[in-house]
A and B are shown apart, each in its own frame.
Chain A
């Protein structure tokens, strides 16, 4: 009886609409918290709108004037800074993470206490970036413990002024980003490697492949989609780099504004309540990030097709 009834109603009622209804909360939150602000930001970027002292100037419609001023300023330099800072942190990060991930996932090595190490390497990410940057700032200051150590060990006669040199500052920022994120990357890559069919590794080792060969010929090709995902998300994260250089250089991006990232530049405009310029910069950042995201989207969907065909 009951079954019959259900079968009847199924014919009449389209369940698809419930799917849409249950999707409404997501779209509602998305449009309110993301889409409307996004459109609003673009709208704001077309106005001259800032505060001079206690008087508000604007909003006056100026068309794309803000975009022109942004491109006339040092936008490309800050983009370059951001990318350089990201690369300095990312290269060691991905190498170490790959090695650790392969070791942790290798069933033949049977590393002891891997759960312990997984926790430890993730820990730096738990510390707030600002306090981490303050710590490094104190450690590497002109009279700081690092300089004391170097001078006591006889490696340097004079204190090394890390934060007064371009590559000292950039190196420290890279070091911090590396320490904060390699644990996270390791765990992602390890998950990818553990998802690989163990028989493939066995087959390769029976055929006499060395571990390096297994890594380059078996592991890497299979985890490539995840690898690309890690790369792109890290790059998007890198584009949004802010807290570490902001705190380390006291918001100045010193020396010579070579550690000024895009978001710090944005923050400078927001700090003086210059909504027009900040809006324009945000839109540019959005476009860059969107392009990168589309890139990762297509890579992921393409690889999905391949899997389906296999």
Chain B
């Protein structure tokens, strides 16, 4: 009898613990699936109450690559007050992955512990509007960054990061005017000169660009690496944003990119590579037959300089002329001025380390001395007119560009940039149309099918958009 009681009890306990454990879980999941706006607002209020005096010692910065991390390590890390640590949370940006991860974190911001809160995050031009127009970003004035601090910055970098009421929600240390970066040795072989001014004459507009491409082909070279290389020169010069209201509009410039790339592919002017792929990157290295790449300053420093080396830095190689194609490049304006990318720093609403966030921003994005060093040491194009104009007239030399001083060209292009035609959906739409059109360029499908695939994929990414 006793045994039976004991076993019965055991049974009951087991079942009880099981259901209890699971019960707790199921309510939790229900809560997270709800995750609706009403709930978060009430919780935000709660969180605000307990905030004062509860500052975490960890500064969380959301990023999608190592670019800003490198800037931070080189130009701010030593200034960080003792006891604090900076934690970079990296999610690759492709396929909206970074935005999704960031959204998740921002929506949970109110519930997060002080050390887990997002303090600062980085955004790209392609989706900056989504964040500056939300409540997740702080007005920079609130954390002590004044108009005076930003007075030397290029206008477009400021305007793009303002919400509809004109509050400044983001700040950038770089400008991203793009140039055409070409191989000097190939230019000499085909055009007979590697002088940027002379080469510019050969690619001054798209018609002459086409003609030069044909010459390259005759000598066994490729004008551009692949499908997506000229994309930004078109997409950044559109006459209307991607999305009008909730309707997707295909701009004539985008049509022109499709037509041109198909033409180049069929004629063999490109190597059929896809942006960022291994084949695309190796086109910048030794043994490459690619004439040039459309790149902004960050692309030259952060991408091409590394890819150009015959002996990689990891194997003990150095970024110096003679190692691979390093030093065999030069910059010229190309057929059209454009902007590609750019990184803005935003202070996350609910941050517990606003002072440090503001100090990082001030140091990297507004301090003349620091910014000058960034240009001289890293060849980046900084968002500071005074520094850039001075350096453009100085004897600054880019080793990668064979001793050329390209800064005046960048400065001129930066003044021409118009970023008023962006939409919050740009990243998803730009990626989707490129992916969909690759099939058309490869000859797998006709253009209508590719278009249809583009619409299908954006329906999945942005259910609220209308396509026809």
Contact = CB atoms under 8 A, between A and B. Distances in A.
Interface of A: 21-22, 24-25, 28-29, 32-33, 36, 50-57, 73-74, 141-143, 161, 164-166, 250-252, 254-257, 265, 268-269, 271-275, 277
B444 A256 contact: yes
A28 B15 contact: yes
Contacts of B36: 56
Given A54-B134, A143-B278, A269 B460 contact: yes
B95 A141 contact: no
Interface in B428-458: 435, 438-439, 442, 444-445, 449-450, 453, 456-457
Contacts of A28: 15, 18-19, 22
Contacts of A54: 103, 106-107, 130-131, 134-136
Contact of A255 (B94, B424, B445): B445
Contacts, number: 107
B95 A254 contact: no
The SS class assigned to the B binding surface is helix
Contacts of A25: 14-15, 18
Given A53-B424, A142-B279, A271-B100, A256 B26 contact: no
B462 interface: yes
B267 interface: no
A46 B135 CA distance: 30
B438 A52 contact: no
A33 B100 CA distance: 26
Contacts of B26: 32, 36
18 contacts: A24-B15, A25-B14, A25-B15, A25-B18, A32-B26, A53-B424, A54-B106, A55-B37, A73-B459, A141-B278, A142-B273, A142-B279, A164-B442, A251-B95, A255-B444, A257-B453, A257-B457, A272-B460
A33 B460 CA distance: 28
B11 interface: yes
Contact of A29 (B18, B439, B460, B463): B18
Contact of B35 (A24, A56, A255): A56
B128 to A, nearest CB: 12
Q: Output the residue of A51, A53, A275 with the most chain B CB within 10 A.
A: A53
Interface residues of B, number: 49
B95 A52 contact: no
Contacts of A73: 456, 459
Contacts of B130: 53-54
A21 B14 CA distance: 11
Contacts of B94: 250
Contacts of A50: 463-464
A166 B96 contact: no
B169 interface: no
A116 to B, nearest CB: 37
Interface string B85-123: 000000000111000100100110000000000000000
A28 B25 CA distance: 13
A251 B278 CA distance: 18
Given A21-B11, A166-B444, A255-B445, A51 B279 contact: no
Which secondary structure dominates where chain A touches chain B?
mixed
B352 to A, nearest CB: 20
Given A53-B134, A143-B282, A256-B439, A161 B272 contact: yes
Nearest to B431: A252
Interface in B259-296: 272-273, 277-279, 282
Interface in B218-236: none
Nearest to B99: A53
Closest 10 CB pairs of A and B: A268-B460, A255-B444, A32-B22, A54-B134, A53-B130, A255-B439, A164-B442, A256-B445, A256-B439, A52-B464
A143 B439 CA distance: 19
A161 B442 contact: yes
A2 B40 CA distance: 66
Contacts of B22: 28-29, 32-33
Contacts of B439: 254-256
B461 interface: yes
A272 B103 CA distance: 11
Nearest to B450: A256
Given A25-B18, A36-B26, A256-B444, A52 B462 contact: yes
Nearest to A74: B456
Contacts of A29: 18, 22
Contacts of A254: 435, 438-439
A57 B464 CA distance: 9
B463 A272 contact: yes
A51 B462 contact: no
B273 to A, nearest CB: 8
Contacts of B37: 55-56
Contacts of B463: 50, 52, 272, 274, 277
A164 B456 contact: no
